[in-house]
Amino acid sequence: MSNTMQSKVILITGASSGIGKATAEKLLAEGHIVYGAARRVEQMGGLKEKGAHVLKMDVTNEQDLVDGVGRIMQEQGCIDVLFNNAGYGLYGAVEDIPLEDVRQQFEVNLFGLARLTQLVLPSMRERKRGKIINTSSMGGRIYTPLGAWYHATKHALEGWSDCLRFELSQFNIDVVVIEPGIIETGFGDVLSAPMLEYSGEGPYGQMAEKIAEGTRKSYDSGGGSPASVIADVVSNAVAARKPKTRYVAGKLARPLMFMRKYFGDRIFDRILASQIG
């Protein structure tokens, strides 16, 4: 490999499927040392066969995080890149979702990755190099109906990442935000089923039904970009001497973010309303 593509030790969370799995496969093929972490270890057999080191890791479990980082440090002596990719979407009307479930959304999408980052940073600071790559979403810059709590976590992650980037620049540690658009994963079903449980009946029922139908079509029926699109972006960020602070990729990400930024709230509201009648 060239100097920019020399083998790196990379930890990826949420590696059992979707973006995490596709990224792990690509980075393994490029010769990197990859640790794939997920709650569902049994779903990472294919990655293990391709050379990945598999970790059982629930990002909300402190001991899992400590043990995982400890194992990598013992086996490799360093972590060059942390790809915080684990997360999920919690959809439903604001008044319908119990705060207990909301807190769990924040635990996975924000606090878990924040704690893992805290554990990885000391060794990066000592070596004065490293990269933290965080999977946000176009949802970190826009909003969609019944997605208040999910968007709240992603908007928070964006601000958190900006502050972290500034703090760590003095130690030559890069912080990168990935903002995917619509990607062909199981996200549609993961989003729609709970949303209908929370808000499928009652005052938000009609809206929930229409959003669920549109989401399934967008995410799971060839309507999105393949996960490999994001894997390519992460690979570029890993290889770059000075990566971008943000990478936008995937279907509809750029146009929707453009409309949100330049058209204003009322027009964006109308665009969303037109999609759900």
Q: Distance between CA 70 and CA 76 in Å, rounded?
A: 10
How close are the terminal C-alpha atoms of the chain, in Å?
53
Residue that is written with structure tokens 């929370």 in the block = 198
The 10 Å Cβ neighbour count of residue 204 is 20
Q: Catalytic site residues?
A: 16, 136, 150, 154
Contact 235, 26 (CB under 8 A): yes
**260: nearest Cα among 247, 269, 248, 251:** 269
Burial category of 175 from C-beta neighbours within 10 Å (exposed 0-12, middle 13-18, buried 19 and up): buried
Q: Distance between CA 104 and CA 90 in Å, rounded?
A: 10
Opening angle at CA 219, ends 95 and 147, nearest 5: 15
**139: nearest Cα among 154, 149, 161:** 154
User: Which contiguous run of DSSP H or E holds residue 228?
Assistant: helix 228-239
Q: Distance between CA 268 and CA 245 in Å, rounded?
A: 26
Residue 64's region, left for phi above 0, alpha for psi from -120 to 50, else beta, is alpha
